[in-house]
A and B are shown apart, each in its own frame.
Chain A
Amino acid sequence: MPYTSPDNYFEHFTAGDRYEHVRGRTVSNVDNLWLTLTTLNTAQGHFNLDYIHRASGGLFTERLVMGGATLAIVIGLTAEDMSENALADLGLTGVRLPAPVYRGDTLYAHSEVVELSDAGDRPDAGVMTYRFTGRKGDGTVVVEGTRRVLLKRFSHWAERDGHVAEPEETA
């Protein structure tokens, strides 16, 4: 029984490939409250509706979804395609939140592979860098950034992960 998918190891990625992640995720206030409060985030704009009305002079009529929640949900939407076979998350950079997210917004994600490189001391893995974009149903971009993951190589891990090794090509 395989532990992970057979088609998203390091060798399966090519720089420039684009991925349209098929699932979307409607964000609820429970998501926002739970992810904000379980991480001890005390910024009231995320959990005090009266505060956000007053602080914004009526501009905001709903609690802002915490940026870390938007980021985590959008990366989650990319994860089965991009990082199911990751040995480690290496980092993120260039993370921007160009538009606010409110409860009821549905988020979608797409990605583009930027770079593939050897992992130095790990011949069984490689580093994959990809650019992710999260958007609402109307196309408004709500989060973007670059993520680096350490991915298993199929050549080293396929059998251990329960996949049948790819047959040798016959000449």
Chain B
Amino acid sequence: MATVRRERGLYFEDFEVGRRFDHHWGRTLTAQDGIAFSTVTMNFNPLYFDAEYARRLGHEDVVINPLLVYAVVLGLSVEDLSEAGGPFLGLDDLCFPAEAHPGDTIRARSVVLDRRTSKSRPGWGVVEWRTTGYDQRGRVVCEYRRRNLSRLRHHEESR
């Protein structure tokens, strides 16, 4: 018999520059995922919710809204990168080199680009990662740089 409590998330000290992460899980994106996301966020480009229109533009089905692809890639990275951390600081150079289509399974990986301790917030640091999302064929569907505040381990002021 045992009691198990698995803490989730990593801390500032864990993010050595150059460290790579292959994040857990993949997420298969369906047409319904993309249509629901696009309609709920009122993203009124029919490419993302009208399959007939998408076919007229040369696609086999609706295109998965790239903002959903981004949100999924971000979500897959959170347990490793920012679950134990603090606020989002910035997102830059987000691009979508290939489109995602219904049935594609998206996975994500990241690398630590930079880190520094915060002068204004004792117990915290700023970490920057590059995160890459790719499909089951290895095609990159999303890439970006993200910065977050990250908690220092065992530092009472950041508790």
Contacts and interface: CB of A to CB of B under 8 A. Distances in A.
Main secondary structure of the interface of B (DSSP, over half): mixed
A68 B68 CA distance: 9
B46 interface: yes
Given A35-B71, A40-B76, A41-B74, A93 B42 contact: no
Contacts of A44: 83
Contact of A68 (B27, B70, B83): B70
A89 B27 contact: no
Report which residue of B43, B65, B72, B90 has the largest number of chain A beta carbons within 10 angstroms of its beta carbon.
Answer: B43
Contact of A79 (B27, B43, B99): B43
Interface in B62-106: 63, 65-68, 70-72, 74-76, 78-79, 82-83, 87-96, 99
In order of increasing CB-CB distance, the 7 nearest A-B pairs are A39-B75, A41-B75, A76-B42, A76-B41, A95-B91, A91-B95, A68-B71
Contacts of B72: 39-40
A23 B42 CA distance: 10
A119 interface: no
Contacts of B17: none
B83 A43 contact: yes
Contacts of B75: 36, 39-42, 68
Interface in B32-81: 33, 37, 40-47, 50, 53, 56-57, 63, 65-68, 70-72, 74-76, 78-79
A42 B79 contact: yes
A69 B99 CA distance: 20
Main secondary structure of the interface of A (DSSP, over half): mixed
B25 interface: yes
Contact of A3 (B37, B46, B63, B99): B46
A86 B42 contact: no
A31 B40 contact: yes
A111 B43 CA distance: 15
B93 A71 contact: no
B46 A72 contact: no
Contact of B93 (A3, A87, A93): A93
B6 interface: no
B104 to A, nearest CB: 15
A88 B95 CA distance: 11
B83 A39 contact: no
Given A68-B74, A72-B41, A92-B94, 4 more contacts: A35-B41, A79-B43, A91-B94, A93-B92
